[in-house]
Amino acid sequence: MRSKIYISMFSCFMLKLGNVGKKLKIVKEAKKLNIKKSTYLANKYDISVDTIESLVNRFEAFGIEGLINKEKKPYYSAKLKLKIVLYKLETNHSYDEVTKKFNIIYSSTIAGWVKKYREYGFLGLNNNIGRPKKIMKNPNKKPAKIKKSQVKINNEQQIKELKEQVEYYKLEAEFWKKFHTLLTKEKSTRKKQK
């Protein structure tokens, strides 16, 4: 009975690690072959070539920590997300380069932020953590009275959010100015070449 418990505990532990040993073996083989993209390794381990490249990049940037699947996702503020997204859009670097620069493990995280930014703007980058509030079930129940201190806190929070929005719009305006100057430079170089 005890041995079954220990075996199940060990298998749970291995699942949490996300098979780091196998990932490390793949990375070492890729480094030994001196290639990041290998169809040979992809076929051997039955994974995609992009996965191998991602594993090698994560290992190079973060070491073994980059190969471990985290239980809890890291928190990134909307301000940091905006900074990273604007950097990505301005410089047009690859997602892997941006993840290395800002120490973010998965490039898909940044790709998701860019997509949300393009669809919803800055508001798409805000974290909506947790479950939405439930609607009051009893219609006869009166809402609690709001104290002055709560109103003050709400006002301060609104001021803080408005300041963040102003900062965002300043950054966005700066981005579009730089984008416009790049376009005009590109047009002028094209005219000179003709």
Secondary structure (DSSP) of 128-181: --SPPPPPPS-TTSPPPPPPHHHHHHHHHHHHHHHHHHHHHHHHHHHHHHHHHH
Domain boundaries, the chain: 2-67, 78-128+148-186
Tokens at 84, concatenated? 């990273």
Q: What pLDDT shows up at residue 87?
A: 92
Type of residue numbered 91: T
pTM: 0.45
Q: What pLDDT shows up at residue 16?
A: 43
Nearest one of 137, 84, 79, 83 to 106, comparing CA atoms = 84
Q: What pLDDT shows up at residue 11?
A: 39
**What is the chain's Cα-based Rg?**
24
Over its length of 194 residues, how does the chain's per-residue pLDDT go in tens digits?
444 444 444 334 443 445 778 888 888 888 888 776 778 888 888 888 888 888 887 788 777 777 777 666 778 888 889 999 999 999 989 888 898 888 887 788 899 999 988 888 888 888 665 555 555 555 566 655 656 666 666 778 888 888 888 888 888 888 888 888 888 888 888 878 76
27 neighbors 67 (Cβ within 8 angstroms): yes
Instruction: Give the whole-angstrom CA distance, residue 49 versus residue 58.
Output: 14
Q: What pLDDT shows up at residue 88?
A: 92
- DSSP code of residue 27: H
**Residue 22 belongs to what H/E stretch?**
helix 20-33
Q: What pLDDT shows up at residue 144?
A: 58
Q: What pLDDT shows up at residue 14?
A: 40
Place of tokens 């301060």: 156
